[in-house]
């Protein structure tokens, strides 16, 4: 339970936000993979329940130096269950603590990361989605969901999207910010076509298996600083493999990968398009146009420059203030508070866009 002081802080926070909030990155967690057993048919169920059963997705190679581990310390549960696995604690610490109209659940379960046994990965994705609908979406109308898929079989992933994509609280398909493949390749097109067919966005988020451009550096601080490289690579892949030309209505959310690199990447995309377009003539517009019109970014982790006005100038450099969508990343250690994360130097209308309007438009929630 939160302390009285924490509850007072939260009440003050609600008042400071100044209007409704949409939080696009809240992690619901399994207590253990055995929770999926009731949602699996054989032969897959016993792969989990048997002695020496499957232990879960690839583990994280780093030990966490943070005081609460992966979670913010006050979100750690007393019973040892993973932070984010308790709906009650989530409601207390984020859903009710701030004026959240919606929280988009992003999980941390990425069957695409299973490099082996692709049929098992497909079954796990379906089981996870059924577990998510029964154990989270049914409890609270404010919760919206990202569904899991196993992208290694794009046609099967598309069938899974068609199976659960019409649930009224499902708003996007989750993909890993993976360093192992370019998920914008034409091979994966059926998956994106299914997302568009079901009016869902497609999101990228880091996983335990995300590597930097230099692999796994010695320290967690290096990894955490460098991983935005992977979102950049995936975005470059989507543009130059022509996924936005193939699917003009495709909406892509880049979640927790940073956003202040965007001006540099847009300039570099457009410069290289001027030089090397002849290699990819299926790309019919300037790359930065696709990014401005089809791609949204989460705000967390909000950068913290010495002069916050420099952060505000990013919008002018990008040429838009509609791409940035607020996120807390609850329950993780680098949680951004809705009332504190956006610098006071930002104009009130831009704050409102970040906290609510941009996500409402991107996810078609109005």
Partner 1 sequence: MCRLGELRPGDFRVLSTGSRELLVVRTGDESFAAVPNACPHQGARLSDGRVERIWTARDGRLHEALERFAVVCPWHNFEFDLSTGCPPYSDGERCRPRLRRHEVLVEGEDVVLYT
Q: Are 197 and 180 in contact (CB under 8 A)?
A: no
* Residue number with CB closer to partner 1 (180 or 284): 284
Report the half-sphere exposure of 51 (CA within 13 A, side-chain side).
0
Q: Counting contacts by CB under 8 A, is residue 221 touching partner 1? A: no
Which residue, 76 or 280, has its beta carbon nearer to partner 1?
A: 280
Kindly state the smallest distance separating residue 365's Cβ from partner 1, in Å. 31
Residue 186 touching partner 1 (CB under 8 A)? yes
Angle, nearest 10°, between helix axes 287-294 and 262-276? 140
For the bound state, the minimum distance from the C-beta of residue 281 to partner 1, rounded and expressed in Å, comes to: 4
Q: Where are the beta strands (DSSP E) in 149-294?
A: 170-176, 201-205, 252-254
Query: Scanning the structure block, which residue is given the tokens 């009285």?
Result: 4
Q: Which is nearer to partner 1, 84 or 287 (by Cβ)?
A: 287
- Judge whether 256 and 327 are in contact, CB under 8 Å: yes
On whether the CB atoms of residues 77 and 31 are closer than 8 A, the answer is no
Minimum CB–partner distance for residue 184 and partner 1 (Å): 13
C-beta closer to partner 1: residue 140 or 245: 245
Of 291, 245, 296, the closest CA to residue 268 belongs to 291
Say whether residue 242 binds partner 1 (CB under 8 A). Answer: yes
* Other residues' Cβ atoms within 10 Å of the Cβ of residue 95: 19
Q: Within 248-287, which residues bind partner 1 (CB under 8 A)?
A: 274-278, 281-282, 284-286
How far is Cα 191 from Cα 193, in angstroms, rounded to an integer?
A: 5
Letters for 282-311 (x = contact with partner 1 by CB under 8 A, - = none) are: x-xxx--x----------------------
Q: Indicate the residue among 274 and 366 with the shorter CB distance to partner 1.
A: 274
| Rounded-to-integer distance, Cα 120 and Cα 43, Å | 9
Q: Which of 77, 280 has the CB closer to partner 1?
A: 280
Total residues binding partner 1 (CB under 8 A): 15
Give the binding site for partner 1 (CB under 8 A): 186, 242, 245-246, 274-278, 281-282, 284-286, 289
């Amino acid at each position: 339970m939160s302390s009285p002081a924490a509850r007072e802080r939260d009440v003050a926070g609600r008042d400071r936000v100044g209007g409704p909030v949409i939080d696009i990155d809240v992690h619901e967690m399994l207590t253990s993979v055995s929770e999926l057993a009731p949602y699996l048919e054989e032969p897959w169920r016993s792969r989990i329940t048997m002695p020496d059963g499957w232990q879960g997705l690839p583990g994280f190679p780093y030990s966490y130096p943070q005081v609460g581990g992966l979670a913010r310390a006050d979100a750690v549960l007393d019973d040892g269950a993973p932070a984010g696995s308790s709906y009650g604690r989530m409601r207390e610490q984020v859903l009710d603590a701030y004026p959240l109209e919606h929280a988009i659940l992003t999980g941390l379960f990425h069957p695409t990361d299973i490099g082996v046994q692709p049929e098992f990965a497909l079954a796990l994705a379906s089981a996870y989605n059924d577990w998510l609908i029964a154990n989270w979406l049914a409890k609270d109308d404010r919760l919206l969901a990202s569904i899991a898929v196993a992208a290694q079989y794009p046609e099967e992933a598309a069938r899974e999207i068609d199976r659960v994509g019409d649930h009224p609280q499902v708003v996007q398909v989750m993909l890993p910010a993976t360093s192992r493949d370019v998920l914008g390749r034409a091979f994966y097109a059926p998956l994106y076509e299914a997302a568009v067919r079901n009016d869902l966005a497609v999101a990228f988020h880091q996983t335990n298996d995300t590597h930097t451009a230099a692999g796994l550096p010695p320290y967690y601080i290096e990894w955490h600083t460098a991983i935005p490289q992977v979102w950049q690579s995936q975005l470059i892949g989507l543009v130059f493999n022509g996924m936005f030309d193939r699917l003009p209505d495709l909406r892509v959310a880049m979640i927790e990968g940073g956003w202040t690199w965007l001006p540099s990447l847009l300039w570099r995309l457009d410069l290289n398009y001027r030089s090397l377009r002849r290699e990819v003539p299926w790309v019919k517009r300037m790359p930065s146009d696709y990014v401005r019109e089809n791609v949204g970014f989460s705000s967390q982790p909000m950068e913290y420059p010495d002069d916050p006005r420099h952060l505000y100038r990013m919008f002018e450099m990008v040429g838009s203030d509609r791409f940035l969508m607020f996120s807390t990343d609850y329950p993780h250690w680098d949680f951004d508070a809705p009332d504190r994360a956006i610098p006071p130097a930002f104009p009130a209308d831009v704050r409102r866009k970040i906290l609510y309007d941009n996500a409402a438009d991107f996810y078609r929630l109005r």
